[in-house]
Structure 1
Amino acid sequence: MAKPVIGFSRLSKNEKISWLAENYLQNDAGAVKVLKQYWNEDEKLQKLHDEFIENTVTNFYLPLGLAPNFLINGSYHTLPMVIEESSVVAAASKAAKFWSERGGFKAEILGTQKIGQVHFLFTGNIEKLKAFFSRIKPLFHEAVQHITQNMEKRGGGILNIELKDKTSEMEHYYQLFVTFDTRDSMGANFINSCLEKFAEVLAEEASKEDTFSAEEKNLKIIMSILSNYVPECLVRAEVSCKVEELTENTEMTGEEFAEKFIQAVKIAEIEPYRAVTHNKGLMNGVDAVVLATGNDFRAVEAGVHAYASRTGKYRSLSHAEIVDGTFKFWTELPLALGTVGGLTGLHPLVKLALDILQKPSAQELMKITAVAGLAQNFAALRSLVTTGIQQGHMKMHLMNILNQYKATDEEKKIMIEFFTHHTITHSSVVEQLEKLRS
């Protein structure tokens, strides 16, 4: 039975692995070997990885692939994508090539505002609170001048500070609702540092406010934190072409394809069960670029899915229509991304990914990432309304199955040829591989 450990963080990496093996891995030498074989031979690089998080024992690798031929606003890009799911990079690349021959992707920034909040409780007269807030508002800016000066030099900073009355939803609950522009940084540390200083000013000034009663002076700060919901930090990506140019499938006209495609999108707009899977496909492209560029994919996911629910019902993030014989497909996504700070200056592959993208600004990265999502969504929908999703996906999955069963290069060659003409399932691949080996 495993035992609790005291002072685990003070153990060396080898000691942590020894404790893990003894308590959870039955002292399996093979398991220990697997953990250590993913250590980087470059000690300096390994130390860098060890210090990204706490209690590290090894590195967890994901493949970095490239999706070329993305024509975005008239310029070609090759997208670095980090993802473990078969067929995502291939599908994105195929969609990129398809649209590069039809004018490419268009992308534009609709907004760059990010939000932070100081949540507090105030028991007292709201009119007095409003008057108090108006008087002390300049003090908030003064208190964070040392934090904001560099950001302001780059054209960013604090855009607005509002007092929000939330007492209709929770008793005595108010907010300082603060809008920021963080330029090329994602801005989490900048925003949170400002908010915590605002909270200090708010509590201190309330404690000595002459117009407040003793109870009102006891204004209670609950927390100060940025929001990952960024509906005003928005990017739009779209593609369009004449309907007759839409299909490469000789068995379906452009008109037939467009009709089925638009109906598939409309289903995702009204049916939450479908919308979740529809949007997951779009996020395959988004997350892969977000990961490759060292951004926070959990924050992006949370914000995007909240945005998909902004009407009170979870809906599709992409939309399609035909206008005057032209097919249009687009998405609008809230994406708070950064190209400076965080891992962008630390992780060697993140730096390389940004170099591949030609050192984009945060706004340029927003456009590229939204395009990746739209391309992936288009590829998935095209498969669904034509051949079905499994045909292409299982071709890619075949190699995973063969690797799982340690197929040799010669066995892989024979199996790939065989399944060019047969349906791929996990059981059929295993059965055929066993036949081959016997």
Structure 2
Amino acid sequence: MSKAISGFSKLSKQQKIEWLAQGYFQDAEAAIALLKQYHNDDEALQKLHDEFIENTVTNFYLPLGIAPNFTINGKDYTIPMAIEESSVVAAASKSAKFWATRGGFRATVLSTEKIGQVHFKYFGESQKLTTFFEKLKPKLFTATGDLTKNMQKRGGGILDIELRDKTNLIEGYYQLHATFETVDSMGANFINSCLEQFSKTLREEAPVFELFTEEESHIQVIMSILSNYVPNCVVRAEVSCPVADLNEDKNISPEEFAQKFIAAVQIAEVETFRAVTHNKGIMNGIDAVVVATGNDFRAVEAGVHAYAAKDGHYSSLSHAKVEDGIFTFWLDVPLALGTVGGLTTLHPLVKFCHEMLGNPGAKELMEIVAVAGLAQNFAALRSLTTTGIQQGHMKMHLMNILNQLGANELEKQATIKHFEKNTVSHSAAAEFLTLLRTNDPARIEEDFLR
């Protein structure tokens, strides 16, 4: 029997929930109760959440953690991180504390240029199109004047517009390639509005250009859209200290640690299989802050990974070296972020996170986010080249295992104590819980928490 439905969007929220529960769940009442459990009791706030997207049935929560002790360009931060993965927040915090006593993190925005394109087909003489564009370009700026005037007051606007010939890739394919400065907004709506006006002006002006034949004047606009690849909207985060100061782990010398750390980065620079996981760890830190601050982590992810492959193969985003006895670890990453517009003024927790960070502008937020990625990467490489990644991660993951196994608070305490000196695995945790449960609960504290 088909479950297709017509006019679903016109149903009330309650009707949507009932249709979903009755059509897809064996226990419809339990499904409805679960959805209502995550419904906010504040009606105004819930209505706000419901209007973020379409067809909402409830809210989906992620943990919001904080990573303290970050020093960036001499300023102290506590960084918000919205993420479900164990050990990410702890690792970032540990890195922050490590580097706070070694000069802290330095971050610099290298550029803030964003990109949008009008993709179109033209099958006439290319020189005619070039001449047409030279006459068209001033009109493109004029036609978007109403759209850009407020952005220009804030120091932004359209930086340049180029005609790009892509006919070597697709027959008749050309672009209007535009660059933008959007200041503290991410700028997607602004850029797309400008591009659509470019398209309109292009279509209006082509039929009256005196050099075009009638056939040439029929330029076909395929689409107008911003690009989430922003190779000229880049921030650098870095740390450095004398090699001798890399002395926190007593089981490895600072010199050996630096040598192994640099080798691990070099492997990620040349080996794609390693680079993907290496960069995923960086994105653990970046995405968590991007989500917490109400920015688009999908756009950031897509742009970052394209940037990682900009030289023809997918490679590490971070780099490390030792020169004149100084260890340096750095990261260049493209980040198109905003601190005004979108969810930044609507979502209460997003506003909370921005205030926690001191209400930064877009450039400062770029620096904070890049540092979070570098801190996470440092923590991961430090573990990989010393104790191994699983020791710390699995101990952080232990709480998830215990919750899956239905452990009570006393059992959790005893199990955590046991695995301080034992290797964590799901089966080992299950076996230990079984052992606990064969004992009188009153004796657990005496026998296992001494």
2:285 aligned residue: 285
Letter in 1 for 2:261: F
- Deviation of residue 180 (structure 1)? 0.1
- Structure 2 Cα separation of the partners of residues 83 and 20 of structure 1: 27
SS of the residue 2:189 aligns to? helix
Farther off after superposition, 189-198 or 12-21: 12-21
In the alignment, the residues of structure 1 paired with residue 228 and residue 333 of structure 2 have an alpha-carbon distance, to the nearest angstrom, of: 13
Aligned residues: 438
Q: Deviations over 1:246-288 (max 9, x none)?
A: 1311111100000000000000000000000000000000000
In the alignment, structure 1 segments of 5+ residues that lack a partner are none
Residue in 1 aligned with 2:232? 232
Q: Distance in 2 between matches of 1:435 and 1:180?
A: 64
Separation in structure 1 between the aligned mates of residue 305 and residue 3 of structure 2, nearest angstrom? 40
Deviation at 1:2, TM superposition (A): 5.1
> For residue 186 of structure 1, what is the amino acid of its counterpart?
M
2:184 maps to 1:184: yes
Following the alignment from structure 2 to structure 1, what is the Cα–Cα distance between the partners of residues 172 and 434?
A: 69
Q: Partner amino acid for 2:80? A: P
Q: How does 1:51-200 map to 2 (within 5 A)?
A: 51-200=51-200
The equivalent of 2:201 in structure 1 is 201
Secondary structure of the structure 2 residue equivalent to 1:217: coil
Asked if 1:294 is matched to 2:294, the reply is yes
- Whether contact under 8 Å (1:2, 1:23) holds in the other structure is no
Q: Is the 8 A contact 1:118 1:198 kept in 2?
A: yes
Q: Give the 3-state SS of the residue equivalent to 1:215 in structure 2.
A: coil
The code of the aligned residue for 2:68 comes to P
Whether the 8 Å CA contact 1:121–1:174 is kept in 2: the answer is: yes
- With 379-388 and 15-24 compared, the bigger mean Cα shift is at 15-24
Q: Distance in 1 between matches of 2:105 and 2:324?
A: 20
1:206 and 1:218 in contact (8 A); partners too? yes
Corresponding residue number in structure 1 for 2:342: 342
What one-letter code is carried by the residue in structure 2 that aligns with 1:29? E
User: Relative to structure 2, which stretch is displaced further, 108-117 or 26-35?
Assistant: 26-35
Mapped to 1, the partners of 2:434 and 2:343 lie a distance apart of 45
How many Å separate the matches in 2 of 1:437 and 1:189?
58
Cα distance, 1:27 vs structure 2: 3.7
TM (norm. structure 2) is 0.96
Report which stretch shifted further, 158-167 or 17-26. Answer: 17-26
Letter in 2 for 1:418: H
TM-score by length of 1: 0.99
Matched, 1:408 2:405: no
Question: How far has the Cα of 1:409 moved from its partner?
Answer: 1.1
Aligned to 2:397: 397
**1:223 is matched with which residue?**
223
CA contact (8 A) 1:230 1:335 kept: yes
Paired with 1:47 and 1:200, the residues of 2 have a C-alpha distance of 37
For residue 431 of structure 1, report the CA deviation from its aligned partner.
1.6
Q: Distance in 2 between matches of 1:355 and 1:224?
A: 35
CA distance in 1, matches of 2:283, 2:383: 17
Structure-2 separation of matches of 1:49 and 1:200: 35
Matched, 1:257 2:224: no
Deviation (angstroms), 1:405: 2.1
Give the whole-Å Cα distance in 2 for the aligned partners of 1:404 and 1:218: 63
1:318 aligns with 2:318: yes
1:71-125 Cα deviation digits (max 9, x unpaired): 0001110000000000000000000000000000000010000000000001101
Show the counterpart of 2:442: none
Alignment of 1:15-26 (within 5 A): 15-26=15-26
The question of whether the paired residues in 2 share the 8 Å contact of 1:2 and 1:24 is answered with: no
Q: For the residues of structure 2 that align with 1:431 and 1:250, how far apart are their CA atoms?
A: 33
What SS does structure 2 have at the residue aligned with 1:71?
strand
Aligned-pair CA distance for 1:29: 2.1
Which SS does the other structure have where 2:223 is aligned?
Answer: strand
Amino acid at match of 1:282: I
Displacement of 1:406 in angstroms is: 2.3
SS state of the match for residue 295, structure 1?
coil
* In 1: Cα distance, 2:422 partner to 2:289 partner: 34
Greater CA drift, 168-177 or 28-37: 28-37
305-314 or 3-12, which deviates more? 3-12
Q: Deviations over 1:298-339 (max 9, x none)?
A: 000000000000011000000000010000000000000000
Q: What SS is found at the alignment partner of 2:120?
A: strand
User: Structure 1 CA distance, aligned partners of 2:258 and 2:56?
Assistant: 50
Whichever residue aligns with residue 211 of structure 1, its letter is: L
Q: Which residue of 1 aligns with 2:366?
A: 366
1:69 shift after superposition: 0.6
RMSD over aligned Cα atoms: 0.8
User: What secondary structure does 1:392 align onto?
Assistant: helix
Letter of the 1:231 counterpart: P
Question: Which runs of 5 or more residues in structure 2 are unaligned?
Answer: 439-450
- For 1:214, what is the secondary structure of its paired residue? coil
Name the structure 2 match of 1:3: 3
Structure 1 position 377 matched with structure 2 position 377: yes
User: Following the alignment from structure 1 to structure 2, what is the Cα–Cα distance between the partners of residues 407 and 316?
Assistant: 40
What is the DSSP-based 3-state SS (H/G/I as helix, E as strand, rest coil) of the residue aligned with 2:192? helix
Aligned residue in 1 for 2:447: none
Output the CA distance in 1 between the equivalents of 2:131 and 2:34.
Answer: 64
